[in-house]
Structure 1
Amino acid sequence: MTLTELRYLVAVARELHFGRAAEACHVSQPTLSVAIKKLEEELDVKLFERGGNEVSVTPLGQEIVRQAQTVLEQANAIKDIAKRGRDPLAGPLRLGVIYTIGPYLLPRLVRQVIERTPQMPLLLQENFTHKLLEMLRTGELDCAILAEPFPDTGLAIAPLYDEPFRIAVPAAHRLAAKTELSAEALKQETMLLLGNGHCFRDHVLEVCPESARFASGAEGIQKSFEGSSLETIKHMVASGMGITVLPALSVPQPPEQHPHLRFLDFTAPVPSRRVVLAWRRSFTRYEAIAALRNAVVACELTGVRPLNVG
């Protein structure tokens, strides 16, 4: 067997679809299918159950996939060790970022990394938290910027900053003249939320649990609409469809540049989220992680509280 075949194996197990796995591996589907068949013949086991468009991993196949992931990670570690001997920062760093952080942090972060460590380009992946955690586990990503909490997966964690939440209302809204509001004051408002899968949706529901009730007769928020991104939701708020809660970095600077929105602070205690950098404990490029953390600190992010970089 070859490392390439093991990569194909892991891709099919992740996608549960031969076509998507082939696309992710940048090969044709016949090439990938032949490699998987060859691997099954060599091992004399059935790795996948195939039925029409449905693909599932056999119980024995799941054990083999886990071992293949370990082998691939160890093979990458050999390359990393060799690179560290020449230049610990040499080579790309595969970074994942959740959707509600990427658009607001990455433009500044990429500039900092280019200036500080041009030999370490960032290969970026935006996705949901659960997907990024899976990609970390399988070695497809080296590290990820996430918002706590998330499932304990045995990853190494370094705090980056605490990010308070703010309230966005239409400029013509009756609350627009306020400078701050309590979470209690939002109960009678129509709340606009991100769709399922976004961890920030869960953060907002913690602040405004009434928005999870959805029953028309429920006390508190009577309606709840969903958007695909924070930018979409801001446009929905600007059009008068309701109000929303945003992380501080998504608020334009200066806020007045958005003429159709007003941004209000929460009264104490101000809800917030902790943003962290996560990576596998077996990842060997410690200097690259430190350089990335330092680059985040150097971004001088407005409205957040940087945390100590030790």
Structure 2
Amino acid sequence: MQLPTLRQLQFLCALADERSFSRAADVCNVTQPTLSSAIKEIETLLGVQLVEREARGASLTAAGEEAVERARVIISSAADLVTAAQQAGAPLSGPFHLGAIPTLAPYLLPRTLASLRDDHPELKLYLREDQTDRLLDGLRKRQLDAALIALPWPTPGIETEVLGEDEFLFIGPKDHKLSKAEHLRPEDLASEDLLLLEDGHCLRDHAVSICALNPSRAGSDIGATSLATLVQMVAGGLGISLVPRIASEAGVAAGADVTIRPFETPIIGRQIGIAWRAGSAREVDARLIGDVVKRVLAGCQGETAPR
């Protein structure tokens, strides 16, 4: 039985993504006639039409959609084979694409990367900061090898390992009544103007969930794009908020006229975890990076948040 080549399958997947023979050829770094000929060869081999040629591009037939779905699995498995062979006996070496959410990357990665550089000089890290859903999509598409995210979060097709816990702290203007209150409980925030990050940031969802807030009330119509912006909004008297301890200890509020304090009963707002694609050949490397993050987090727990 004659089988399609991996290169032919790559051409088919590129055409599915680009919906254009010329753009797919550019992506694959071949001429358009070469790509078109390869698609015809696959169709002849399979005995079924996969692509409908149109004046302004191309679309897949039902058989083409099925073929592309299976082709992606085959290409992914072949890439895993190569990676596993290259990494055998040499963990944490070569290129590794690591993602991290914006509320972790600036505060956790500097200490993590320093340790990785010292212990694994052969590792070449490529970093990407993005929101959780896009990082998980990057894992599924093999654009990332692992990602540091906040849990809980739905992760179909993705495996995760919890690395530590991150406490939520109160942050408010220094003259705010809750900044001076003798006792501080989560329910005290229910009647206040709570500022949060924009939609799409997992920290927003975690904060709303933990404090049992009404999302329609939280943050009014204002959403911050980053924790640093959120701190400045609080300092400007626009409201109060929550800040992860790991960000507080890394100095996210340095120089701002705010008060940061823990709640009377500590709020574990989120778990910090590492995620990788199920079945990935880089699982061992992901877990090893997770071990480094665990050590960094353990060191953070001995520090005290600014008041």
**TM-score bracket relative to the smaller structure:** 0.7 to 0.9
Task: Specify which of 225, 234, 239 is matched with residue 237 of structure 1.
Answer: 234
Shift of residue 229 of structure 1?
Answer: 1.3
Aligned partner of 1:289 in structure 2 is: 286
Gaps in structure 1 of 5+ consecutive residues: 215-220, 306-310
**Closer, same or farther in 2 for the Cα pair 1:235/1:179, shift >3 Å?**
farther
CA contact (8 A) 1:191 1:211 kept: no
Shift of residue 118 of structure 1?
Answer: 1.2
**Closer, same or farther in 2 for the Cα pair 1:280/1:171, shift >3 Å?**
same
1:32-111 equivalence runs, <5 A = 34=32, 37=36, 40-44=39-43, 45-46=49-50, 59-85=62-88, 87-111=90-114
| AA partner of residue 184 (structure 1) | E
CA contact (8 A) 1:193 1:226 kept: yes
**Closer, same or farther in 2 for the Cα pair 1:256/1:151, shift >3 Å?**
closer
Which one is further off, 171-180 or 270-279?
A: 171-180
Shift of residue 160 of structure 1?
Answer: 0.5
CA distance in 2, matches of 1:256, 1:154: 37
Q: Which has the larger radius of gyration?
A: 2
Task: Specify which of 135, 139, 142 is matched with residue 142 of structure 2.
Answer: 139
Gaps in structure 2 of 5+ consecutive residues: 44-48, 303-307
* 1:177 maps to 2:180: yes
CA distance in 2, matches of 1:33, 1:170: 62
**Closer, same or farther in 2 for the Cα pair 1:178/1:42, shift >3 Å?**
farther
| AA partner of residue 41 (structure 1) | K
| AA partner of residue 100 (structure 1) | T
Task: Specify which of 264, 275, 300 is matched with residue 278 of structure 1.
Answer: 275
Deviations 1:189-216, CA, capped at 9 Å, x for gaps: 11111111111111111134444134xx
| Counterpart secondary structure, 1:71 | helix
Shift of residue 290 of structure 1?
Answer: 3.7
CA distance in 2, matches of 1:75, 1:223: 49
Deviations 1:111-145, CA, capped at 9 Å, x for gaps: 11111111112111222222222221222211111
Shift of residue 89 of structure 1?
Answer: 2.8
| Counterpart secondary structure, 1:233 | helix
Aligned partner of 1:223 in structure 2 is: 220
Aligned partner of 2:305 in structure 1 is: none
CA contact (8 A) 1:8 1:32 kept: no
**Closer, same or farther in 2 for the Cα pair 1:212/1:75, shift >3 Å?**
same
* 1:126 maps to 2:129: yes
Deviations 1:264-310, CA, capped at 9 Å, x for gaps: 212326242111112233222454234312221332566559xxxxx
* 1:116 maps to 2:115: no
| AA partner of residue 137 (structure 1) | R
Taking every aligned residue pair, what percent have the same amino acid on both sides? Answer: 28
Task: Provide the TM-score with structure 2 as the length reference.
Answer: 0.78
**Closer, same or farther in 2 for the Cα pair 1:235/1:57, shift >3 Å?**
farther
CA distance in 1, matches of 2:204, 2:59: 31
Pairwise CA RMSD of aligned residues? 3.5
